[in-house]
């Protein structure tokens, strides 16, 4: 929900207007002013509700998104309607990164795992900017490199680390991006993130709740003891930390 102008609280909260701007995205925040000024008119603000889709698998990538809030989940879709979350993104990055590497159709389904806002840019405009070879290009390639590193780690993680430790890692990744202690997360979502059976996830969530790390009820999760969750997560979380 966008704030109305002149709603009287600007003295109490002097930041909202700025805070909802494109610079809340950490990539755009790092652009030199002159580059940002050139790009800003090309950006359009959009918002996404819970579970709203940004891209379907195989969909042509006409736009990219610079998130400023929310959590975006990237799901690989397998036969038999099986889906596995491969990555989570937030305001640290860009949704639609494959276009940078010449891939024009989305290899994954991207959806809002927590409601959020983003600034949309047309792919042609992005390509034009990348051709200029300025700071945005460097930042995007750096970001692509980080994601590649994390994906490699995730493959190793999924194949070797115990489910309960991976579960703690994903909960922390979500928590970092939602930036609120409570968020919406069904056990089906969590099972998709972990590529696990729902029954196993129910058992793990129950154990974490019993140990006082989280509170889990009716599709909402509250992080109660973040430090303990970090200690319980597998080593891979160190790479994911924002």
From CA 18, how far away is CA 16, in angstroms rounded?
Answer: 5
When the beta carbons of 43 and 85 are compared against Zn ion, the nearer one is 85
Residues in contact with Zn ion by CB under 5 A are 157, 161, 234, 236
Closest approach of Zn ion to the CB of residue 166, in Å? 6
Which residue, 69 or 73, has its beta carbon nearer to Zn ion? 73
Report, in Å, the least distance between residue 11 CB and Zn ion: 47
Q: Which is nearer to Zn ion, 208 or 236 (CB)?
A: 236
Q: Which is nearer to Zn ion, 161 or 179 (CB)?
A: 161
What is the rounded CA–CA span in Å between residue 21 and residue 191?
A: 34
Instruction: For the CB of residue 91, give the shortest distance to Zn ion in the complex, in Å.
Output: 24
Distances (CA, A) of 239 to 106, 123, 130, 208, 235: 25, 29, 27, 22, 8
Between 160 and 181, CB nearer to Zn ion: 160
**How far out from the chain centre does Cα 206 lie?**
25
Closest separation in Å from C-beta 165 to Zn ion: 6
What are the helix (H) ranges across 40-162?
123-132, 135-160
Taking the complex as a whole, the smallest distance from the CB of residue 157 to Zn ion amounts, in Å, to 3
Tell me which DSSP letter residue 2 carries.
P
231 φ/ψ angles, rounded to the nearest 5 degrees: -65, -30
* Rounded distance between C-alpha atoms, residue 185 and residue 216, angstroms: 9
């Amino acid at each position: 929900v966008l704030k109305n102008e002149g709603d009287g609280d600007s003295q109490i909260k002097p930041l909202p207007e700025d805070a909802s701007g494109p610079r809340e995205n950490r990539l755009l925040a790092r652009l030199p002013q002159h580059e940002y000024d050139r790009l800003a008119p090309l950006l359009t603000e959009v918002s996404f509700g819970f579970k709203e889709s940004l891209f379907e698998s195989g969909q042509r990538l006409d736009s990219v998104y610079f998130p400023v809030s929310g959590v975006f989940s990237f799901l690989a879709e397998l036969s038999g309607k099986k889906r596995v979350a491969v990555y989570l993104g937030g305001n640290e990055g860009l949704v639609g990164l494959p276009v940078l590497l010449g891939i024009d159709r989305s290899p994954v389904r991207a959806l809002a795992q927590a409601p959020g806002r983003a600034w949309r840019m047309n792919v042609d405009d992005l390509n034009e900017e990348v051709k200029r070879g300025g700071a945005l290009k460097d930042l995007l390639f750096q970001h692509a490199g980080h994601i590649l590193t994390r994906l490699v780690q995730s493959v190793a993680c999924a194949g070797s680390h115990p489910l309960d430790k991976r579960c703690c890692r994903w909960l922390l990744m979500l928590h970092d991006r939602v930036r609120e202690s409570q968020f919406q997360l069904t056990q089906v979502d969590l099972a998709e993130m972990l590529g696990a059976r729902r029954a196993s996830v129910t058992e793990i969530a129950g154990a974490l709740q019993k140990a006082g790390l989280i509170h889990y009820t009716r599709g909402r999760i509250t992080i109660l003891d973040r430090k303990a969750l970090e200690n319980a997560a597998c080593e891979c979380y160190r790479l994911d930390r924002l």
